[in-house]
Amino acid sequence: SMISVLVLCHGNICRSPLAGVLLEAAIATDPALSQRVRVSSAGTSNEHEGEGMHEHSAALLARRGLRAEHRARQLTIPLADQQDLILVADRWNLRDARSIVASGIRRAEVRLIRDFDPAAQGSDLDDPWGYPESAYERAAEEISAALPGILESLRAR
């Protein structure tokens, strides 16, 4: 059966679409997971609802030959109820996601992205919004470092 994974940050324009596409690309290269995992993203806030991803996230993905089209949306209880795993960018998203999940029917597992990086357990993925492109590159590196652990955890499901 399909595993639904949702990546979550605050506005769903910088970190979560970036992480969602990088995760999607990693899953696509893994024969054990490519047909079994569905990845999407959302934000805890609705302030960017309907917007595309931030230009720096989009440019970074485009340089890697990955898709950059996106429409920001907010995490709702019905959306949370469709997920098996919610991967969050930081401890504030963790708190917000847990309360949204707790209000619903199903119980998605909620985890920090960087918890899957053995070198960075318990760390936040800092919000690059308002910072130069180098902050987005650092976010991409930190996400990439967590990908092997995320894939391993998905294979075990």
The catalytic residues are 9, 15, 127
Is pLDDT above 90 for 121? no
Determine the pLDDT at residue 4.
98
pLDDT band at 9 (very low <50, low <70, confident <90, very high): very high
At 74-98, the pLDDT tens digits run: 999 999 999 999 999 999 999 999 9
Angle at 117 between CA 112 and CA 123, to 5 degrees: 50
What is the mean predicted confidence (pLDDT) over 109-131? 95
Give the separation between CA 4 and CA 108, rounded to whole angstroms: 9
Q: So what's the pLDDT on residue 1?
A: 84
pTM for the structure as a whole:
0.97
- Vertex 104: Cα angle to 107 and 16 (nearest 5): 70
Per-residue pLDDT of 15-36, as tens digits, reads 999 999 999 999 999 999 999 9
Cα–Cα distances in Å, from 131 out to 15, 17, 37, 92? 13, 17, 32, 19
